[in-house]
Amino acid sequence: MTSMIESFNAAMDMTVPMQSFYDLIWNVDTAQGYGLDVWGRIVGVERAITIPSGSTSLFGFNEAGGSWTGFDQGNFYTGESITDNFILSDADFRLLILAKAAGNISDGSIPSVNAILLALFPNRGDCNVVDGLDMTLTYTFHFTLTPPELAIVLQPDVLPNPAGVVINVVQI
């Protein structure tokens, strides 16, 4: 019986399937497709996100959500979608997963959020967050974010932010 098990083990080399499993699913830095979908479920994000499209300055009231303005300051809402659902590529979804994972373990302090931003956007330029001391946080990027990157930064509950605080994004 022992020789039969040893013969089976010699014939079956499990290093290749295990390396593929590690590379495609377990390692978030190299995971692809299904592996990233698994990581998304673990940290609590989905591949489909909403990206604002067109002008969102519309006539209306604040409690309806969005950027609503008064008379002679915005367009009437026509019923068209003011956001687009967007399926993230593997690279952008990996960025969202890493942002959410870092936000999940962060203490929410300004230095912690600054460290997250610098880790998410390495070698792209300076980026930081500043507390406006008036219930606002301003994320400042000294480089241009792609639309998916901007949507990731603006997604609720991805980067840490206190309840009731307005998030502003400035790109210089």
Asked if 143 contacts 127 with a C-beta cutoff of 8 angstroms, the reply is yes
pTM of the model: 0.73
What pLDDT, in 10s, does the model give residues 99-121? 999 999 999 899 999 999 999 99
What pLDDT, in 10s, does the model give residues 120-130? 999 998 999 99
- 104 alpha-carbon distance from chain centroid: 12
